[in-house]
A and B are shown apart, each in its own frame.
Chain A
Amino acid sequence: MEILLTAVPMLPLASAAMLLLYGRHMGKSLVTGLGVGSIGLAALTVLALAVQWQDATGPVTVMLWQWFSVGNFSVDLALRLDQLSLIWLCTITGIGFLIHLYSSEYMGGDDNYSRYFAYLNLFVAAMLLLVLGDSMLLLFLGWEGVGLCSYLLIGFWYRDSANGAAARKAFIVTRAGDAAMALGLFLLVAEFNTLNIQEIVLAASASWAAGEPLATLACALIFTGAVGKSAQLPLQTWLPDAMAGPTPVSALIHAATMVTAGIYLVARLNGLFVLAPDVLFAIAAVGVATALMAACAALAQHDIKRILAYSTISQLGYMFLALGVQAWDAGVFHMMTHAFFKALLFLAAGAVIECLHHEQDIRKMGGLRTHLPVPFWSFLIGSAALAALPATAGFASKDLILLRAWEVTGSGIWLWSVAAIAAMITALYSFKLVFVVFFGELKTEATHQPGWRMALPLMLLCVLSIVGGWISLPLAEVLPLAANHPAHGTIAIVSAAIPIVGVALAYFIFLGGQLNVTGLTESSTGRWTAQYWLQGWGMDRLYDRLLVQPYASLAQWWRGEPMDRVVALIMGSAVTIHEQLSASQSGRLGRYVAVLSAGLIVMLTLMLLRATP
């Protein structure tokens, strides 16, 4: 069991190392075998682990070696498997394998095929380390590893400078959160002298009372790291731009890796976060605000991938809402179902984009239903799950979150209302996407059909997006779960009906034409709002004004080397004095005599003045 557990992150890591070192000299089939095979093997290993897990009692810890030891502070390199990390392992390797398989066809014509798979494997390896790390430091290593890999993959087509800019943006914005998280870790080390997650949670609950200022500070700092990585307000701006990378990378970032890291972090440290009720409320508020804002922004987008990107931000908001109201299992459950349907949607979008010669604007698409049947059905099922229509995986998890938000005393009604409005908008934009792209008149001809390596993952994910809702997660041992929930009656029916209303609205507006909204969208307010939402609530422009431009002008100023001017001043005055003194050595005897006698007169005068009392 220990060997299997160690093999899970090591397989992709070894494959990534081999591909990075020797990938250029390998044949294409070998690269495919290594890249896809390593993740496939890892997925099988996880499966074996999950089967063996049935007999195991409690979590398994594998101590690899001591990482370092300074004074009485030491960090072990140890992997720890419990139910929470097992769920993530299954999602990462399972979805990751499907995305790798899909990539082998999608990226088949790319010149940098081996580099692509090396980065992709490294990405998965870093994420696996993140969820398996027994200490916060190993978690942080994986955390930074996914940040690095996202940078490499978003800027994969680096010859276009816009892609490089998007990659840098993703790296820098998430780094802002990471800095806060590092501060939180320092605080924990200073307080408890350990980075082991279990020890931290135990020590914290032993020495801190609920609402302790230090606990609030530590949780707030760590949550800021999660905000950056999981693209929540106000650090969400990097995710829409991250669409610059290849589409399977977007699927990997949005579904299996990277953005769910923040959810994992908060769920993993639930014992710490319950000590800071204020931070928990902030998490719920940030989550629900993000869910609504991102849903509105998604409604106004034209780029098929940007719509999906904003929907990811919105869905992550739901997960944070669940974590904030201490419905830990609902948040984790939604992470898993979201991974299914978001991977499905991205891969289907990738298939559409590829079959339409890299056309991403949905206004130039239409009537693809009969031409691209596999992507159409994938999109239909994925959108149904995203909109949380009953009998899909998305319904099971999102409905749970809405009901748990409702149960919160005091602010529950507000959280529920905002989340419900966001849910309706979600249904609206996801079915707008389906109706606009696949129904109506044909605008761009599809040139070919996706091959089996693209179609197979789509079909599997379709199945998962439907049956995923019936998986019951064994979380009782790792997360504190509320035992009994009151019956909901009306509110449960309302929650379930909201997405259907949204879909109906989408049908009447975008397909049936019974509802004419041109009057609304063409009015000056409507156009302004649409423009504002299209730009993601103007957050990019705000940050540009507030941070980027001042920084750029400061850099411009420093480029003029202002410090050099001080040095130049000293040098210039030395030169001037030298020139003056040098000019006085004229060699004119008359002038020397004049100066000599003038000096004599001055000295004599002084002496006489001193002599007279």
Chain B
Amino acid sequence: MGAEMVPVEHVLVLAGLLFVIGLFGLMLRRNIIFMLMALEVMLNSAALAFIAAGARWGQPDGQVIFMFILAIAAAEVSVGLGLVLQMRRQLQSLDMNDAVRLRG
């Protein structure tokens, strides 16, 4: 079994890449839906890292945390989509910068 396993380093690099992609998406996109998607990517990169770590040490904790993250992500998306709908209704826009009230 051990020989066919994907090495944990590869998985961690993939998780890191996914996290950075999500982070840059969050920083650079202005559409709120894409920002939520970037957030999901970041959550999933963290979850992937947990799964890989759980498999590496043969512990169930990684999978338990993954279930948590899944639940949190689902809750977050439902609240976030609700906000998106409200924003769309009130501002007729999904651009995050249109919601800025602070003027420095």
Binding site for B on A (CB under 8 A): 582-590, 593-594, 597
Contact B104 A585 (CB under 8 A): yes
- Shortest Cβ distance from B20 into A: residue: A597
| Residue in A582, A583, A587, A597 whose CB lies within 8 Å of B100 | A587
From 14 to 70 in chain B, residues with beta carbon under 8 angstroms from any chain A beta carbon are 23, 26-30, 35
Contact B27 A593 (CB under 8 A): yes
Contact B27 A585 (CB under 8 A): no
Contact A588 B23 (CB under 8 A): no
Contact A587 B23 (CB under 8 A): no
Would A597 and B104 be within 8 Å (CB), given that A588-B97, A590-B28 are in contact?
no
Instruction: Provide the B81-103 mask, 1 if CB < 8 A to any CB of A, else 0.
Output: 00000000000000011001111
CB-CB under 8 A from A585, the residues of chain B are: 102, 104
| Residue in B23, B97, B100, B103 whose CB lies within 8 Å of A593 | B23
Contact B104 A583 (CB under 8 A): yes
CB-CB under 8 A from B27, the residues of chain A are: 590, 593-594, 597
Contact B26 A582 (CB under 8 A): no
Contact B96 A582 (CB under 8 A): no
Contact A590 B100 (CB under 8 A): no
CB-CB under 8 A from B103, the residues of chain A are: 587
Shortest C-beta distance, A589 to chain B (Å), equals 6
| Residue in A582, A584, A586, A597 whose CB lies within 8 Å of B23 | A597
Contact B104 A582 (CB under 8 A): yes
Shortest C-beta distance, B46 to chain A (Å), equals 14
16 more A-B contacts (CB under 8 A) besides A586-B102, A593-B26, A597-B23? A583-B104, A585-B104, A586-B104, A587-B101, A587-B102, A587-B103, A587-B104, A588-B97, A589-B35, A589-B96, A590-B26, A590-B27, A590-B29, A590-B30, A593-B27, A597-B27
Shortest C-beta distance, A439 to chain B (Å), equals 92
CA distance A590 to B27 in the complex (A): 4
A–B complex contacts, Cβ < 8 Å, 18 sampled: A582-B104, A584-B104, A585-B104, A586-B100, A586-B102, A586-B104, A587-B100, A587-B102, A587-B103, A589-B35, A589-B96, A590-B26, A590-B27, A590-B30, A590-B96, A593-B27, A594-B27, A597-B27
- Shortest Cβ distance from B30 into A: residue: A590
| Residue in B29, B35, B100 whose CB lies within 8 Å of A588 | B100
CA distance A593 to B20 in the complex (A): 12
Shortest C-beta distance, B80 to chain A (Å), equals 13
CA distance A588 to B100 in the complex (A): 7
CA distance A583 to B102 in the complex (A): 10
CA distance A585 to B100 in the complex (A): 11
CB-CB under 8 A from A597, the residues of chain B are: 23, 27
CB-CB under 8 A from A584, the residues of chain B are: 104
Shortest C-beta distance, B69 to chain A (Å), equals 19
CB-CB under 8 A from B28, the residues of chain A are: 590
- Shortest Cβ distance from A592 into B: residue: B27
CA distance A589 to B29 in the complex (A): 10
CA distance A587 to B99 in the complex (A): 9
Shortest C-beta distance, B34 to chain A (Å), equals 11
CA distance A585 to B26 in the complex (A): 18
- Shortest Cβ distance from A595 into B: residue: B27
Shortest C-beta distance, B2 to chain A (Å), equals 30
For the complex of A and B, 5 pairs with smallest distance between CB atoms: A587-B102, A587-B100, A583-B104, A590-B27, A593-B27
